[in-house]
Structure 1
């Protein structure tokens, strides 16, 4: 199926979001909004999920990728990002995806790691979202925050200029976490974040993709697709490295497409 990628702006003037539409020239079987991960993982996974969106579009699933307000190429300052705001951004992206989809199929979400928290909330608030899938789900926000703080401490100890930091600093009081702005208000949101959260509406398709231990923890999901260790290592490092769609990645992506189009 022929695929087209179109960069665009979404949202009202006061909350402009940068996005890329991966559409199909023929009517799509459904439309998927990809909700990115948080902090440095957004940078590390950017290429991977661009390739994923293109492959899904070629299979007949139109995709919309976007940056949350205050992150990436979207408007706003780093300090403007919040989990609640990300939920608002997902609603904006869903409305835009629905308006652009050809064929009027269903609209679902594919959230990546920490993006699963606002995606879950958005699904609860919008009964028209038919699918909610989470790639390598994070079930406990406090555990995730602690893990980020350990990485941050280690990097500040061994490096004079940690990756992605805007300015060299060894102080934990500079408001940054793994090189990204993380004010106390965001830390509080993360400490309280849990999956599963409020129950989804009956009929919502809920699935996860992840390592075996991640699938074991995601007992809330109806569908599970296992990812090999080599397909998930992008989330375990601060190093920027290219991610290619090897067989370890194409097989689970194609399985996801089959489930979504069933």
Structure 2
């Protein structure tokens, strides 16, 4: 989306989406963010990773490495034709993919805004499994153990289908092997990093306080984007567009 007509271009933004149901349930946020940035002189690019949304490819062939390449290709497209700085924004797993891609980009983004990134792969996989079970319980209105004993459900596994999306062997392996998030390599590249986390996660970044390029933001709105109940939330938590607009200063 281009900056609004008559508005001077101030920056370009690459918007990296999360995965699966989280991507579906945050789609409205990405639309609102793109509209808001356009009014402020921001050009935005939203895209689908290989095997997701409108992009070609099979779900069973997905991998983190492929998605990192997709981010780099999108970045190369966005940075053409102008001297405006390019910033990246990612939510959930999209933040982790953006962080990995930023370390490989020949011309890295000026700023990274990482919103509620995945802190640990195994914990993320368990959250997907728990969310899958919770949705089935909500749908059938029957406790999980009764669903299992009745044969209406089976224990979720990877590779396999979770929350209506297929996780193939390579992606399942990638997620399980994801370690703790590490921002230092990006900071060493001179990338300004904004990391948005919940209050209880802030102590994990206590050692980062002296980093001039690092800013820690506390998320004001707590939403479980894996839950179908997230569809009833406000279109966009107000601190997301506010934080992105602040990068224009």
**TM-score bin, normalised by smaller chain:** 0.7 to 0.9
Show the 5 A alignment for 1:1-262: 21-25=1-5, 26-99=7-80, 103-128=82-107, 129-157=109-137, 159=139, 170-171=153-154, 172=156, 175-194=160-179, 195-196=181-182, 199-200=185-186, 201-218=188-205, 222-228=214-220, 231-235=221-225, 237-239=227-229, 241-245=231-235, 249-258=237-246, 260-262=247-249
For normalisation by structure 2, the TM-score amounts to: 0.80
> In 2 relative to 1, CA 240–77 (structure 1 residues): closer, same or farther, beyond 3 Å?
farther
Partner SS, residue 94 of structure 2: helix
Deviation, structure 1 residue 27? 3.5
Paired residues of 1:22 and 1:53 also in contact (CA < 8 A): no
Unmatched runs of 5 consecutive residues or more in structure 1: 1-20, 161-168
**Structure 1 segments of 4+ aligned residues over 4 angstroms from their partners:** 218-221
**Structure-2 separation of matches of 1:132 and 1:206:** 5
Deviation, structure 1 residue 232? 3.4
Deviation, structure 1 residue 209? 2.2
Paired residues of 1:131 and 1:205 also in contact (CA < 8 A): yes
**Structure-2 separation of matches of 1:115 and 1:44:** 14
**Structure-1 separation of matches of 2:214 and 2:183:** 15
**Structure-2 separation of matches of 1:98 and 1:184:** 34
Larger Rg: 2
> In 2 relative to 1, CA 92–60 (structure 1 residues): closer, same or farther, beyond 3 Å?
same
Deviation, structure 1 residue 243? 4.6
**Structure-2 separation of matches of 1:43 and 1:218:** 29
> In 2 relative to 1, CA 108–251 (structure 1 residues): closer, same or farther, beyond 3 Å?
closer
Match of 1:4 in 2: none
Paired residues of 2:128 and 2:226 also in contact (CA < 8 A): no
**Structure-2 separation of matches of 1:27 and 1:253:** 19
The structure richer in strand per residue is: 1
CA RMSD of aligned residues (A): 2.7
Partner SS, residue 213 of structure 1: helix
Unmatched runs of 5 consecutive residues or more in structure 2: 141-151
Pairs aligned (count): 229
Partner SS, residue 103 of structure 2: helix
Offset from partner CA, 1:201-246 (integer Å, 9 cap, x none): 4311111123222444355581122222xx3315252236255457
